[in-house]
Structure 1
């Protein structure tokens, strides 16, 4: 009995030891399930990174949490690293040299991350390179469900070079003595002398999150990813969302509009059909009464997600077109239709505009 108890104690000790050195729970840090997709991990990281970034959150503990968040994202966003982590934890990643400490935040928001608050006057006067505005064409499906788009950018970067160069050139007033009691003030260019630099192209991969509910023309900014300035700060790269035309749906705000063509038979006796939505789910459309050309029905909550609150959805409006038969009817068929419809002839003139 004593030996059995000793074995159990050893096993418990081994389990506790393994647990203590297993490393951090990256899924818990990102607040995602272990079955989360890569896109879900990216969305969770982006949301938490905004909240925990030291430029925005001045809590002393934020910096450590932000570093943990970066480590969690680095491990779980890479399929190979994630497999290793799932198998034996953070210690295995470190042992295999798979945690390089790269800043994943830069791939979302550029070199300098967020800039919260107001800049001081000196910063506002700093020379800046031009902003670059780039259109990103996205589908209505991406605006409905959300997506991450990778952009490969060849960015010119300043690197040290041999020699010196003139920099910070400016216009200054200089006084010259032309003789006794004679002076002349002229404006001339004055420059400092700085270490020389050269431009080198570097390839960078940026990730643009197309968030669910984004609208046409909405912009995402990558700080310091724009044009360089030799003696100042680089401009920004601005990604402008452009919604591509869709073959089946038209968007107005958070509402969607579509047209459905049905046969004259279905228009008279009723229609029961499904419409495939942007994410693949089916929207049932059932109508027992007569449907006239131009009739419209509304499906509540089947529109686009609201950008501010993805739990709210607009409406889907369905307009019916009726396709009439093209064959000629016999006299007997015409008489049968007259009896069924039991309508009198209507000849009414009006301004349809």
Structure 2
């Protein structure tokens, strides 16, 4: 008895050592979410904490900077389904060493049975198909964020009369053909289950359009896809389809727009305001000559970055010149020549390649 107790004590200590080695940082605790949190909940928690702990808001706080780095590491793992599975199974240390098949503790203790019986083979649960649907989203919504409601008619299993064959599988059956003679054959075996019928039910889904979301990005609803009569339903995924905008073009996190000005503004300078996607005004000042195709950059006036809303892209403004129509008198032409102080000059070149050749 004493020997058995000593062995159990040693085994328990070894187990605790292994547990400490494989545990690492608690990413769920860092993000402040439960282990069953959805991807959307993880993203919300990250965005909220990233704004609070960002180094720009805490320039002299080393603790906040370290928490911000831990927050980034936690989000990187928990927002990736494959990494999250490995983390849940092996902890942070398991991520560094790559995926390890089976339980790390059982591989050490073998089949001594300190912590329970042997393994049971689990049969794979059948799963319904995934559904992917396009969701048209305006650029204003991708800039500021929004909530969209979608009505979903989902087939739901309801009890019906009778029974049905279910959980069908192939098993090996041994038949004795005679003394010392056996034959093994495959045979389909099914269970008898209560009968069900699929009835469509109305369900309202709320989709959060998060600031900085990108065209083609998917928003998942777990278990809202096609049902499976003997298993689990698939997932429903909405794919963001960014709509074309009348004033702005998006490229990554940057925005592009064009402004047409008069020739007088181009020569004399001007001031103007551009109404942005959320309604705020971007002030533009030009106190020098503006040539056709001139481009101005406004830092921080682009789209918010999806991973970190504290970071924003840039707004690029390209100017076009509207020339006056009509005919000038000889006196007006002479006055313009005096003001511009330019001689008449024409250059012919290949605009699709280069104006100058080596």
Shift of 1:189: 2.6
Counterpart position of 2:206: 207
Counterpart position of 1:346: 345
Counterpart position of 2:36: 55
The 5 Å alignment of 1:232-271 reads 232-271=231-270
The 5 Å alignment of 1:263-342 reads 263-342=262-341
Structural RMSD (CA):
2.7
Counterpart position of 1:8: none
Counterpart position of 2:127: 128
TM-score normalized with structure 2 length: 0.64
After superposition, the C-alpha distances for 1:224-277 in whole angstroms (9 at most, x for unaligned) are: 001111111111111111211111111112111101111111111112111110
SS at match of 1:304: strand
Over 3 Å counting, the alpha-carbon distance change for 1:124 and 1:174 in structure 2 is closer
Over 3 Å counting, the alpha-carbon distance change for 1:124 and 1:343 in structure 2 is farther
Over 3 Å counting, the alpha-carbon distance change for 1:311 and 1:181 in structure 2 is closer
TM-score normalized with structure 1 length: 0.65
* Further displaced range: 327-336 or 258-267: 327-336
Mapped partners of 1:166, 1:51: distance in 2: 45
After superposition, the C-alpha distances for 1:117-167 in whole angstroms (9 at most, x for unaligned) are: 468897792111111111111011000000000010000001112211100
SS at match of 2:225: coil
Over 3 Å counting, the alpha-carbon distance change for 1:332 and 1:124 in structure 2 is farther
Over 3 Å counting, the alpha-carbon distance change for 1:176 and 1:141 in structure 2 is same
Mapped partners of 2:124, 2:172: distance in 1: 21
Paired residues in the alignment total 249
* Further displaced range: 179-188 or 234-243: 179-188
Mapped partners of 2:37, 2:339: distance in 1: 73
Where do 5+ consecutive residues of structure 2 fail to align? 1-28, 39-80, 90-101, 103-120, 353-358
* Further displaced range: 289-298 or 306-315: 306-315
Shift of 1:173: 3.6
After superposition, the C-alpha distances for 1:192-218 in whole angstroms (9 at most, x for unaligned) are: 101111111110001110001111111
